[in-house]
Amino acid sequence: MSWDLASHLGRLAAEARRDRSAQSLIIANLVTIALALIERWDIALVMRIYWAQSVIIGFFNFLRILLLKHYTTADSDPDPARTGSPLIAKLTMALFFAFHYGAFHFAYFVFLKGMEVESPPSRIMMAIPVAVFGINHMISFLSNVERDAGRRRNLGKLFRHPYVRIVPMHVLIILGAAVDSRAGWLVIFLLLKTVADVVSHELHHTLRYDPPLASPRSQDP
């Protein structure tokens, strides 16, 4: 079991070295860490930036579902047997994802709004890491769309995978609330978040290993 885990992590590391979107993700996280140190940001402020990153991930995943041409609804909900056609299933899945993911992050927003920020920064400084994350996830989105053209994706997998990216935020909110930013522990949490971010990014990209289309014909509804 441990050997399988080591082998899997080794493959993820090798993929990250070849994956430009993973490299830009690391850069985006390092930019956030650098600004947090220079501007002396506290955990509440950093969490708002990661909340914005999570919203960006959901936005591009919503677009990705809508743009799919080759897909399966196997093991998915809604079931096309109930909705009437794969196209309706895809549209319903995209809209339900937008509602579910949006509601989830609205609750996060309310929670973060109640966390006191010791020294609010300028909007420009806040916008820098958010913009860098936006560019990173746009690069990842464009790469995914290109790969999706030659493979049949599972709608259920696409619906679930962005939530894996929320796990680091859960951990940081629970543990980070007790962190004294001035004690240096904030950097450790941010580095752990960066590692978790890259790993979950590569796990998400394992969708590229879906079997290629057997023929040029798509499952166009």
Q: Of 10-14, 127-131, 160-164, 167-171, which one has max mean pLDDT?
A: 127-131
Q: Look at the chain and report how many structural domains it folds into.
A: 1
| Domain-embedded: residue 166 | yes
Residue-wise pLDDT tens digits, 39-79:
888 778 888 888 999 999 999 999 999 998 887 776 555 55
Q: Higher model confidence: residue 146 or residue 17?
A: 146
Over residues 185-199, mean pLDDT: 78
The answer to whether 172 and 43 are in contact (CB under 8 A) is yes
| Domain-embedded: residue 173 | yes
Structural domain boundaries, residue 74: 18-209
- Mean pLDDT rounded to a whole number for the chain: 75
| Domain-embedded: residue 29 | yes
User: pLDDT band at residue 218, thresholds of 50, 70 and 90?
Assistant: very low
User: pLDDT band at residue 172, thresholds of 50, 70 and 90?
Assistant: low
| Domain-embedded: residue 70 | yes
| Domain-embedded: residue 3 | no
Global pTM value: 0.79
Is the omega angle on the peptide bond into residue 78 within 30 degrees of 0, that is, cis?
yes
| Domain-embedded: residue 214 | no
Over residues 72-88, mean pLDDT: 61
Over residues 2-22, mean pLDDT: 55
Q: Within the chain, what is the greatest distance between any pair of CA atoms?
A: 59
- Here the tokens at position 213 are 């289309």
- Rounded Cα distance, 37 and 49, in Å: 14
Neighbours of 34 (CB within 10 A): 12
Query: Which are the contacts of 145, defined by CB distance < 8 A and separation ≥ 6?
Result: 64, 67
| Domain-embedded: residue 215 | no
Over residues 164-181, mean pLDDT: 66
